[in-house]
Structure 1
């Protein structure tokens, strides 16, 4: 899933692509549960859970902050 490819469907159950999910994350969603509450992505089969976590981590790195204060980093060491 590349940052420039905004046509990648992340959640098949809800038809959510990475661009839409990044906007939701930038709008204040800090956890997969937050994303599921706002968009329903990640609330059905769970197959997109890892991708949602990856998007959260990527967006946290882009803005220079943690996705959620006190959250553990998902980035590999």
Structure 2
């Protein structure tokens, strides 16, 4: 599923960024390029991060302010 149309970032890229150590929405956005233009994808990125983070038992999910 495409999460960010501006940067053509999909949900797999968001999950990979999380798995690679990006634990906040801001970190995921910086890592993937999502949320850097119009910002309308931030809530979707947050949802994917929270859902994926909930599946990772050793890492709590942190959510910072907006990425841009």
TM-score by length of 1: 0.71
Matched, 1:67 2:64: no
Matched, 1:36 2:32: no
Q: How many residue pairs were aligned?
A: 62
1:16 matched to which residue of 2? 9
Structure 2 gap segments, 5+ residues each: 64-68
Greater RCO, CA 8 A, separation 6+: 2
Matched, 1:58 2:51: yes
The alignment yields a C-alpha RMSD, in angstroms, of 1.4
* Structure (1/2) with the larger helix percentage: 2
Structure 1 gap segments, 5+ residues each: 1-7, 72-77
TM-score by length of 2: 0.79
> Of the two, which has the highest radius of gyration?
1
1:36 to partner: Cα distance = 2.1
Per-residue Cα deviation, 1:25-48 (whole angstroms, up to 9, x for no partner): 111111121122212111111111
Q: Return structure 1 stretches of 4+ with deviation > 3 angstroms.
A: none
